Amino acid sequence: MADRLNTGPGRVLIFVYGLFALAAGARAGVQIATRFGAAPLAYLLSAFAAVVYLVATYGLVRGGRAGRRIALVCCTVELLGVLAVGTLSLADRAAFPDDSVWSGYGRGYGWVPLVLPVLGLAWLYRTRRTRP
Amino acid sequence: MNSVLSAIVYVVSLAVAVYALVEALVDRPPGRIQVVGLGLVEAAVLALSVGVLVDVIGGGRPAETATFIGYLLTTLLLPPAGVALARMEPTRWGSTTVCGAALIVPVLVVRLGQVWHG
């Protein structure tokens, strides 16, 4: 059976991942270029998140064994990242004077950053190959 | 930012989103209506962009110029991207993608208004 990672619901995931790579990347770029000193940690985290989204998009588009592995690592990093940063941003507001993509569990982005890796992992599991 | 043109974008894009959602729910691929709908969304966003240009010529400036331009370009890019993905995915998931694109456009226009006014 052909790998259906990048068709059907996978295509919707690729669309949203690509959009988030663009949104997070552009935002981080503007923030780092114009006022990096104000909140370096938050801005670097946004840039890191953007890179992870970009690589996840690539993994999902590519498919196959390597694509799956890339997507699996990225979705896991995202889920851990949004949970860790979300918790830290609520516990220690001083460290996050300006929001990053993952602050407050991604509430600035309609909680999509929290939902997206879960959907990604679920989709990877649904389309897994079962060996004979 | 022109509030009438913004309102037109909200109405058109939300209408397309609802229509695409219904088609996705009844397991239909995106047809001509969805493509034309995204075309109307793009036309509305273009009209909004012209409105912004008129404001800028009149001396208005967004509070954060770089962010504003980034959001505006993303908003202009979304409907064509939605059409391209809908063509590649002639299933209910193509309709889902169109619905997603049409939902994100009004969110971006809200952000455009916030960034404009600072």
Mean pLDDT of A1-14: 83
* CB spacing of A30 vs B70 below 8 angstroms: yes
Shortest Cα distance from A8 to chain B (angstroms)? 5
118 residues of chain B, pLDDT tens digit each:
889 999 999 999 999 999 999 999 999 999 999 999 999 999 999 999 999 999 999 999 998 888 899 889 999 999 999 999 999 999 999 999 999 999 999 999 998 999 898 7
* CB spacing of A26 vs B70 below 8 angstroms: yes
Chain B residues in contact with A11 by the CB 8 A cut-off are: 85, 88-89, 93-94, 97
Q: Which residues form the domain of B20?
A: 3-117
In which residue are the tokens 């001396």 written? B59
B63 touches B118 (CB < 8 A): yes
Q: pLDDT band at residue A97, thresholds of 50, 70 and 90?
A: low
pLDDT at A106: 86
pLDDT at A2: 55
* CATH code for the domain of B106: 1.20.120
Crossing angle, helix A64-91 and helix A40-62, to 10 degrees? 160
Report the alpha-carbon distance of residue B94 to residue B29 in Å, rounded.
6
pLDDT at A1: 43
Shortest Cα distance from B101 to chain A (angstroms)? 9
- Which tokens is B35 given? 């493509």
> In this predicted model, what pLDDT tens digit does every residue of A67-86 receive, in sequence order?
999 999 999 999 999 999 88
Number of domains in chain B: 1
A108 touches chain B (CB under 8 A): no
Report the alpha-carbon distance of residue A35 to residue A28 in Å, rounded.
10
